[in-house]
Structure 1
Amino acid sequence: MTKLLKSLWARFLFQDRGILPTKKLLIVYVILTAALGIATAGNLSWWYVFTINIIVFLVSLGDLFFSPKKSQLSFKRTLSDEMERGLPYSLTIEVSNPSAYSFSYRLIDSLPQSFSRPFPIKGTIPKDSAVKIMYETTAAERGKYKINKLYFRYRSLLGLWEKQTTVELPQEVKVIPDLTETKQYLENAQAFLLYEGWKIRKQLSGVGEFAKIRNYVVGDDPRKINWRQTAKLREVMTNEYEPEHGKYITILLDCGRMMGAELKKANRLEKALEAALTVAAAALQKGDYVSVLAFSKEIKVFVPPAKGMAHLQTILQAIYNVKVDAAESNYAAVLQYLEMVQKKRSLLLLFSDVRTFLHEESALIYLKRLRSRHLFFMIGIEDQTLVKRTKAEPTDVQTAMIKSIAQQQMMFKKREKNKWEKQGLQMIEAPEEKLAVTAVSQYIDIMNQNLL
């Protein structure tokens, strides 16, 4: 295809500058051609046919003078610098038309393919005015994206010809993990975890530092009732104690092949990222030091430990773009690296696939060595398909075989988990929708028991 043909093809694909005939003009020519075809049957000269076509064509070009020049239009795009994965966001395009002509338009924005694309957007813009065009989009994948061009077509009210212009509006947008659960915890920890009362894990009596006096709720230790405040306020009040602050939490994120397994709404890595950020927010809010290490066959990201809520943004910017690798995770290498960089006693919170981890005998050697200094805890996502297979009714031979194999896999997993737990290495699995809640609950439980 020659350069000229490529340019013409791009013009028809909404990707270039130029002038294009509209459907209205084509319909006029179809009607005119039919009429002239009938007339030529009555001995009308072909010279007249040619002349009439040229006159109609030249007259139609006059329609271009009733629409603004391309240089008269100006465009501005407004969008957020950061978008959370899977959540809808509004984008605004402001079009200024200082000319004396109104026009109708169609536009296509150069959003990446992983974004939802509600195009083309249609409308009209009055003369001597500025109009804000809004549309919603949702990003399906994390990462950093560039949005450069805006493709804009407009026509006069007669609508015989359509002008097309391509505007350069370079902008960058970061798609970060969905922080809905993190925000829910930060806004109202009690609603997120039932933080007070009998449903929270109990703290060892007499351990920790005094935090506050609050209303007594069912399940509180009666020995902690503050009788002086109870008599003064005529309500049962109790003392609340918190674990000592300033502990070290190390979050390990597995980015290996098995973390790319698709779930109901995302893959395992997406859910692990969301849960890890929620745990980090909870720990930083409590005054603990948090570090994050993402890995697969090699170390991808390491964020050194720090405290304060500002550190959450540091963690987010470091790990928002980590992807699943098409390789098996090297647990031994990451644990060896961790032994060098994390000298202080720390809670090692690993988000990974339990089944894959259980097959890593080499990791057990390093974990036994780390156990003397650190506390290890692993959280995985429960395999709903496997659970469903084990509970299926064996209505025929095939279903019975599938159920037996699923039960065999569950037995293997349970047996291997018991072996690791005897070594002091705890691991649990949680449903994907409760992963963040379970992870934060386990963190709080460990802190309440002062295991660090």
Structure 2
Amino acid sequence: MKKFLKSLYLKRRFFIVLFSLSVLFVGAYFFPELFGVIRLFFYLFILAVAFDIFLLYRNRIGIQATRVLPEKLSNGDENPIEIKVINRYQFKVSLKIIDELPVQWQIRDFKIEAILNPSDEKIFTYQVRPTERGEYHFGNLNVFTSSVLGLVVRKQQFSAEGMVPNYPSFLQLKKYDFIAFSNKLKLFGLKKIRRIGHTMEFEQIKDYSIGDDIRNINWKATAKRNNLMVNQFQDEKSQPVYSVIDKGRVMKMPFNNLSLLDYAINSTLVISNIVLKKHDKAGMFTFSRKVSDRVIAQRRNAQMHLILETLYNIETDFSESDFSRLYVDVKRNIKQRSLLLLYTNFETMDALHRQLPYLQAINKTHLLVVIFFENTELKSFLNKEAKTTHQVFEKTIAEKFIFEKKLIVNELLKYGIQSILTSPENLTVNTINKYLEIKARGMI
């Protein structure tokens, strides 16, 4: 009985009818001749409620519902969640489905409303966008059922608790994996860059044949063999490419509910996949007060899985990043000339100048690309009309900060350091473009 009462709810229509009958009973005090008719309506109402309860509880099963969760969520992307519902009643029912979502989303008004015909089966799909890596715990599935009378509601709760880990954006990885090797680069912001010059390593000496580049003729071998001989080269492959992620406090700044650190992590996952597909070695590590989360640049089957699992556990430590420690670690552990994609953020020239000596030192032995971010909030602020003196002053300061970002790019270029200044949402595309450009120009 207690279980029955817990599952029984009264609908708004029940209270409307009950209130109307109460008003009529009050009116019958002044018009006694109507009392008998109103009492008849009251008895009919009681019978209707009892019949509605009988309809909903006669079938023990009633409604069947299950939630289908993905194996993992993709951070910053829309992820589909499915709820499968089967109507075991022999009549049409109205449903309200309330899913107990993870606390990270702080959603308190989620519901799905639908009408199911007898023995009908439907799959409802809704999208969720996680913005924090980690575990997402789903609770129970609650289904509220009412008949065509709509006086009472039967609540059924289905045990559907489950945990789904939220990984860096593997959906972007799949997307750009297809795009980077297709013929539709421009549609997605990627550039098709013509290969310039020769980035070749020697393979063998062979007999000259028509079509070979005469600049590759080996005159010493020709003189010995008394036959034209040419040097044969092959494209250099397996160049180490490291994604270096600053996980200090400057990377905690949020844009569109994702931190700069998460944008950098998503970009690292995508660019590592592209690097491996281009026959280079992909690796990564993070730094703040110390260097950690190291994955040595290699080309092997398990490399992407290792990078994905490493990226999953990265968190900012809210401290000041030590670029001197980064320089010492790079010098000690990376012996072969490599491409280093450094994800960090500089807001002012002073912040850059404090770290510039270490960036120069790293760039002497490796090809360093400093990747930092535009402040898109300031850009949107500049688009608003200034109506007061105070707003004019604020817009002037905002323009100063935006211009200083451009000065940082020029300052890095002056010292021969490659850089990317990008909005967070375009980070992945711009990083891929820079990598493809560097490969085409034979800079590594």
Same fold (TM over 0.5): yes
Residues 1:29 and 1:352: Cα distance change in structure 2 (over 3 Å): same
Which deviates further from its counterpart, 26-35 or 86-95? Answer: 86-95
Residues 1:266 and 1:153: Cα distance change in structure 2 (over 3 Å): same
Answer whether contact 2:64 2:88 (CA < 8 A) is retained: no
TM-score if structure 2 supplies the norm length? 0.72
2 CA distance for matches of 1:63 and 1:261? Answer: 55
1:266-287 Cα shifts (integer Å, max 9, x gaps): 5533433333233212211122
Residues 1:309 and 1:437: Cα distance change in structure 2 (over 3 Å): farther
- Aligned counterpart for 1:291 among listed residues 277, 280, 283: 283
Residues 1:199 and 1:159: Cα distance change in structure 2 (over 3 Å): closer
Q: Are 2:273 and 1:281 equivalent residues in the alignment?
A: yes
Q: Are 2:368 and 1:379 equivalent residues in the alignment?
A: no
Answer whether contact 1:116 1:138 (CA < 8 A) is retained: no
Give the deviation of 1:335 after TM superposition.
4.3
Q: Are 2:433 and 1:441 equivalent residues in the alignment?
A: yes
Q: Are 2:203 and 1:203 equivalent residues in the alignment?
A: no
Structure 2 counterpart SS, 1:122:
strand
Q: How does 1:302-321 map onto structure 2 within 5 Å? A: 302-308=294-300, 310-320=302-312
Q: Are 2:17 and 1:28 equivalent residues in the alignment?
A: yes
Q: Which amino acid aligns with 1:74?
A: Q
1 CA distance for matches of 2:397 and 2:88? Answer: 74
Partner residue in 2 for 1:146: 137
1 CA distance for matches of 2:68 and 2:87? Answer: 18
Residues 1:400 and 1:392: Cα distance change in structure 2 (over 3 Å): farther
- Aligned counterpart for 2:94 among listed residues 78, 85, 104: 104
1:108-150 Cα shifts (integer Å, max 9, x gaps): 11123528888422223344x2512313213141423121211
2 CA distance for matches of 1:101 and 1:192? Answer: 53
1:168-220 Cα shifts (integer Å, max 9, x gaps): 112233444445654454224353379xxx9625433373579xxxxxxxxxx
Structure 1 counterpart SS, 2:138:
strand
Structure 1 counterpart SS, 2:139:
strand
Structure 1 portions without partners, runs of 5+: 1-6, 211-221, 225-240
TM-score if structure 1 supplies the norm length? 0.71
Which deviates further from its counterpart, 153-162 or 439-448? Answer: 439-448
Partner residue in 2 for 1:165: 156
Structure 2 portions without partners, runs of 5+: 204-211, 215-232
Partner residue in 1 for 2:217: none
Structure 2 counterpart SS, 1:191:
coil
Structure 2 counterpart SS, 1:354:
coil
Answer whether contact 2:248 2:318 (CA < 8 A) is retained: yes
Q: How does 1:300-379 map onto structure 2 within 5 Å? A: 301-308=293-300, 310-320=302-312, 322-323=314-315, 326-339=318-331, 341-355=333-347, 359=351, 363-364=355-356, 366-367=358-359, 370-371=362-363, 373-379=365-371
Partner residue in 2 for 1:217: none
Which deviates further from its counterpart, 331-340 or 398-407? Answer: 398-407
2 CA distance for matches of 1:53 and 1:394? Answer: 65
Answer whether contact 2:199 2:442 (CA < 8 A) is retained: no
- Root mean square deviation of aligned Cα: 4.8
Partner residue in 2 for 1:214: none
Which deviates further from its counterpart, 409-418 or 328-337? Answer: 409-418
Structure 2 counterpart SS, 1:287:
coil
Q: Which amino acid aligns with 1:252?
A: V
2 CA distance for matches of 1:18 and 1:395? Answer: 58
1:352-404 Cα shifts (integer Å, max 9, x gaps): 11336962667556556545543322111234577899999999987589648
1:37-80 Cα shifts (integer Å, max 9, x gaps): 22244679x9xx99997995476234211114554543221232
2 CA distance for matches of 1:278 and 1:434? Answer: 13
2 CA distance for matches of 1:292 and 1:357? Answer: 27
Partner residue in 1 for 2:113: 122
Residues 1:40 and 1:292: Cα distance change in structure 2 (over 3 Å): same
